[in-house]
Amino acid sequence: MNTSDSGCTEVHSSTLKQLGWTEEHAQAFSKYTGPYVPGRVVCRQKTVWDVVIDGGSVTAGISGALKKLGRFPAVGDFIVLLRQPEAGSSTIVDILPQKSVFSRGTSGRDGTDQVIAANIDIVFIVTAAGHDLNARRIERYLAIAHASGAKPVIVINKSDLATDPALLTDEIIPVASDIPVIPVSAISGDGIARLEPFLTPGTTIVLIGSSGVGKSTLINRLLDRPVQETSVIRDYDGKGRHTTTVRQLFLLKSGALMIDSPGIREVGMGTASDGIADTFPEILELATGCRFSDCRHEREPGCAVQEAVKSGTLPSSRLENYHRLMRERAFTQEKAEIGLVRSERKRWKGISKLAKEISQGKREF
């Protein structure tokens, strides 16, 4: 068996059941027999994946078929592994159906999303007291979290740096829309107990947030031992460097599973249209009173949303960010459509070239 030396060793002695394996996964895997075994991805390196299987762990590559399809396993994925012990190799040949996918938009030309983690139940949106505490950024994270299908929880770290930790939630609660907002200090341990209701056995949680907000310190606190490197942030702008360089999954003492990820400097919306609706529920509710069903809440007559802004019942900053995210979503969807056309054009060009070679007798089968 190939054992990983990557440092992602926290869950290698776990069983798949401890890692969230369910009857639904077993049913999806049932069509495979012979040298195939199920596993869960617990760490991704550049070109290989650490996978836990019943009885241990392996380091595996992926099949050529998955590469051609552009399907790359994410941390948290349950996968099908082709085991060839005699050859000393293991290959991921399929990805089992995902119940949720957390992804973010990328700056590429084709508008595709980057998958951060899969099969997650809860997203801990980690921010920090000081420069990083920003309601507009939280709204962006919430939209992406809602679109993933997982439940978001806002964690305000470094509460020990605030004069009055209770005031940290004042700016965030108005944009949270009934989402839990929990101030904590990963250094001192204050508030950590309030996270315990979310840390139930078999629950998979992903931590996201900017560099320097203390995600790695929070992991260390929850594991009660140092497993992640940490660093300080710069005093003048509150920014830090990436201390986590790979995504990996940890098993907490409670039985919950937590995925750490590198800090995200830019959070693209991707195609998270459903997430925007869930992030701004009061705007959607007000929109039912608009004169026109396709009202964009800009300059249209009879707009109930604009009237709410004028009367002071809806903050103008809230509507401005809604418009900003909607424009970004539309732009990303347009890029995705262009990318799809480009991909199809490339595929048909290859088919035409092959057909021409066959007709000219240049290709034999």
CATH number at residue 173: 3.40.50.300
- % of the chain residues with pLDDT over 70: 75
Neighbours of 261 (CB within 10 A): 19
Taking the C-alpha atoms of residue 344 and residue 332, their distance in angstroms, rounded to an integer, is 18
Pairing of strands 56-62, 49-53: antiparallel
Same domain flag for 85 and 203: no
Q: Is residue 197 part of a domain?
A: yes
Domain-ending residue, one of 95, 128, 152: 95
Residue 89's pLDDT is what? Answer: 81
Same domain flag for 64 and 115: no
Domain-ending residue, one of 237, 260, 283: 260
Residues 6+ apart with CB under 8 A from 173: 181
Per the structure, the count of domains in the chain is: 2
Task: Report yes or no on whether pTM surpasses 0.85.
Answer: no
Q: Are 145 and 275 in contact (CB under 8 A)?
A: yes
Domain-ending residue, one of 49, 77, 95: 95
Give the DSSP letter string of 284-321: HHHHTTSSSTT--SSS-TT-HHHHHHHHTSS-HHHHHH
Same domain flag for 45 and 176: no
Same domain flag for 145 and 208: yes
Residue 234, pLDDT > 50, answer: no
Residue 343's pLDDT is what? Answer: 54
> Which residue range forms the structural domain that includes residue 87?
23-95
pLDDT tens by residue, 7-30: 445 577 788 999 999 999 999 999
Lowest mean pLDDT among 161-170, 171-180, 270-279, 285-294: 270-279
Residue 2, pLDDT > 90, answer: no
Residue 267, pLDDT > 80, answer: no
Burial 315-330 (b: 16+ CB within 10 A, else e): eeebbebbeebbebbe
Average pLDDT over residues 239-246: 50
* Position with higher pLDDT, 316 vs 329: 316
pLDDT tens by residue, 147-158: 888 999 999 999
Residue 51's pLDDT is what? Answer: 94
Q: Which amino acid is at 324?
A: R
Same domain flag for 85 and 48: yes
Give the DSSP letter string of 105-128: E-SSTT-PEEEEEES-SEEEEEEE
Average pLDDT over residues 220-245: 58
pLDDT band of residue 95 (cuts 50, 70, 90) is very high
Strands annotated E in 133-278: 151-157, 181-183, 204-208, 248-251, 257-260
Same domain flag for 28 and 158: no
Same domain flag for 91 and 185: no
Q: Are 35 and 82 in contact (CB under 8 A)?
A: yes
pLDDT tens by residue, 179-219: 999 999 999 999 999 999 999 999 999 999 888 899 989 99
Residue 238's pLDDT is what? Answer: 45
Same domain flag for 64 and 191: no
Same domain flag for 68 and 176: no
Same domain flag for 163 and 239: yes
Residue 364, pLDDT > 60, answer: no
Same domain flag for 80 and 199: no
* Position with higher pLDDT, 241 vs 319: 319
Identify the CA nearest to 138 among candidates 211, 240, 241, 209. Answer: 209
pLDDT band of residue 165 (cuts 50, 70, 90) is confident
Same domain flag for 85 and 125: no
Taking the C-alpha atoms of residue 22 and residue 17, their distance in angstroms, rounded to an integer, is 7
